[in-house]
Structure 1
Amino acid sequence: MDAGPPVLWLGGAPGAGKTTVARLLARRHGLRWYSADAHTWEHRDRALAEGHPGAVRWESLSRTERWTGTDEELLAMSLHRERGAMIADDVRALPPGPLTIAEGTPVTPAAVAAAVPAVDRALWLLPTPAVQRDRLLRRGMSPEDGAFRLYRRLLTEIEDEVASYGVRTLTLDGTQSPEETAAAVEQVFADALAEGPKAASAPERRALLRHGNRAVVVQHQQFFARPWAPPDPGTQQWPFACECGETSCAEDVGMAPARFPCPPDPASPPVLAPGHDCPPWPVSSPG
């Protein structure tokens, strides 16, 4: 990349556990976590401004109608093939350090190959069809749901993409725990993680955690700001990372986004798991 931070790219199908793995590695190693999901509505607005047919059609339909099309129509309206380049643009605009782990289903081999000459810092997590189906069902989805059909179609789309580019993949057959999957990804990225750069202090790590948490809040706010969105009930609990900044901490704090501390972030109270403490904010925040 011409500018921006060094990046670890983590792609894969819905239900692969990308977010869980990326958050674990970011917290353990002092990395910046970039979630494609957190930028969904920014990307949709960008596609709308560019007149993308899939984005325009999606916005024109009711919330029910959006999920009644064919699998190919659902794929087109998901903007899967278009968002990869937007993700690369987002990451390129980040500060030059620390190392970023960028994850999301629209992290495509084509986008990564266009962003960097080689894709040796990229990995795609591929659940088997049976594993993905089981995980989607455990999320409360039904095979008749449009979202379920889209996620299944995305699995085959990504399998075809990674096969055509010959990039590195990790197959998930259901025997690996999230921690074991994270360890396998960590091994793949061992050289890059050793090279860094990484946040060296607890205050720096805390600023990165707030950067990731704030992105989740903005994602929530942008959804409910859509003209077709229902009123925000303000009761749904989202898992926010504990901001103590300790590398051994993997605790989440359940909180409604509306209750998340208001900016400016260096002056707002930290989000902490019970019994956790934190250092003061750094003078210069990497977030």
Structure 2
Amino acid sequence: MSRAPLPGVLWVGGPPGAGKTTVARLLARRHGLRWYNADAHTWTHRDRAIAAGHPAALRWEAMDLAERWSRPAAEMFAMSLHRERGPMIADDLRALPPVPLTIAEGTPVTPEVTGAGAHAVWLMPTHEVQKARLAERGLAQGPLELYRYLVREIEAQVQAYGGTRLDVDGSRSVADTVAEVEKHFAAVLEAGPKATAAAGRSRLLRYANQAVVSQYAAFAARPWAPGDARTTVLAFACECGRDGCEVDVVMAVADFPRAEPVLATGHG
């Protein structure tokens, strides 16, 4: 049986390559929502699992990079903490302020955690779409096998719980997919609290940007982490808070300003 919905949360799930982050990020900026990106909490969740003595988490940390991605797909899936992270995500969301609405997205977002209904949707890419999108990331064979495994796992869960799925087959543009998800959430978006003032929107954008910075800092702090993740160049949301602003500011993680807002040219 599905869980009761977590108040004030819209959920977007699906496997890697589905477009979850793009959709959730755009809807958050468009409607004045808080964007919770599960990827940004990966290392916090892993640390919780390690502290709890979770065998798969401990095994994963003890392996080198090559060994992790050479294991059978089922073992890689277990070490991904896919099932364990769902409840952690729910705990994170319960700790956030109830206003405004939060749109939460990530691969560990499953119907077992969210329940099924108008507050949740899963983007399910076809094999061809996922393969093409993941090829753009230049992933090795190990991650590709895990991500294909995740498609089957998530599809089975969505079907078992009666969750709403939106097939991503390449026939829709990004804008069309965003519109479909927006339509699914229409009633909740209409009734739920949103940030309308620029200051409130700016704080939400700052929260989302800082979460991504923390993600890369936590990875770089791992003793086995290759290179310096802080040199990674990303597109951060402009924090001006203007209604309708969807401009990004490209910079290295290490250059993210700690005190000043991230602002696009002319948006000060």
Q: Considering the TM-score relative to the shorter chain, is it more than 0.5?
A: yes
Q: Which residue of 1 aligns with 2:95?
A: 93
Kindly state the Cα deviation for residue 14 of structure 1 after the two structures are TM-superposed.
0.5
CA displacement, residues 69-94 of structure 1 (integer Å, 9 cap, x when unaligned): 00101100101111111000100110
Aligned to 1:124: 122
**1:146-166 residue CA offsets vs partner (Å, 9 max, x unmatched):** 111111110111001101111
Tell me the number of residue pairs that the alignment of Structure 1 and Structure 2 aligns. Answer: 266
- 2:88 partner amino acid: M
Query: How has the CA–CA distance of structure 1 residues 153 and 4 changed in structure 2, closer, same or farther, with 3 Å as cutoff?
Result: closer
Offset of residue 198 of structure 1: 0.2
Equivalence map 1:210-229=2 (5 Å)? 210-229=206-225
Residue 3 of structure 1 deviates from its aligned partner by 11
In structure 1, the residue matched to 2:80 is: 78
Q: Distance in 1 between matches of 2:165 and 2:96?
A: 26
Cα offsets for 1:158-189 (capped at 9, x unmatched): 00110111111100110111111111000000
Matches within 5 A, 1:111-260: 111-113=113-115, 119-142=117-140, 145-232=141-228, 234-260=230-256
Mapped partners of 2:50, 2:101: distance in 1: 31
* CA-CA distance at 1:230 after TM superposition: 2.6
* Residue aligning to 1:67: 69
* Secondary structure, counterpart of 1:64 in structure 2: helix
Question: Could you say if the C-alpha distance between residues 76 and 4 of structure 1 is closer, same or farther in structure 2, counting changes exceeding 3 Å?
Answer: closer
CA offset digits 1:33-81 (Å, max 9, x no partner): 0000000001001111111111011001001111000010110010111
Contact 1:121 1:189 in 2 (8 A): yes
Post-superposition CA distance 1:83-128 (Å, at most 9, x none): 1110001001101110000000000110113xxxx63301000011
| Whole-Å separation in 1 of the counterparts to 2:106 and 2:133 | 17
**Secondary structure, aligned partner of 2:79:** helix
8 Å CA contact 1:5–1:94 kept in 2: the answer is no
Q: Tell me the amino acid that sits aligned with residue 141 of structure 1.
A: L
Q: Could you tell me which amino acid in structure 1 is paired with residue 251 of structure 2? A: M
Question: Residue type of the partner of 1:126?
Answer: M
Identity %: 59
Contact 2:236 2:248 in 1 (8 A): yes
CA deviation after TM superposition for structure 1 residue 2, in Å: 9.9
Is the Cα contact below 8 Å between 1:3 and 1:92 reproduced in 2?
Answer: no
The Cα shift of 1:272 comes to 1.3
Q: For the residues of structure 2 that align with 1:171 and 1:32, how far apart are their CA atoms?
A: 25
Paired position in structure 1 for 2:33:
31
TM-score using structure 2 length: 0.95
> What is residue 267 of structure 2 aligned with on the other side?
276
For structure 2, the 5+ residue unaligned runs are: none
Secondary structure of the residue aligned to 2:36 is strand
TM-score (normalised: structure 1) = 0.89
- Distance in 2 (alpha carbons) for counterparts of 1:75 and 1:244: 40
Gaps of 5+ in 1: 263-267, 278-287
How far apart, CA to CA, are the structure 2 residues paired with 1:17 and 1:219?
Answer: 19
Query: Residues 218, 129 of structure 1: CA spacing in aligned structure 2 closer, same or farther, 3 A cutoff?
Result: same
Q: Aligned letter for 2:82?
A: H
Distance, in Å, in 2 between the alignment partners of 1:70 and 1:233 is 27
Q: Secondary structure at the match of 2:231?
A: coil
RMSD: 1.7
SS of 2:65's partner is coil
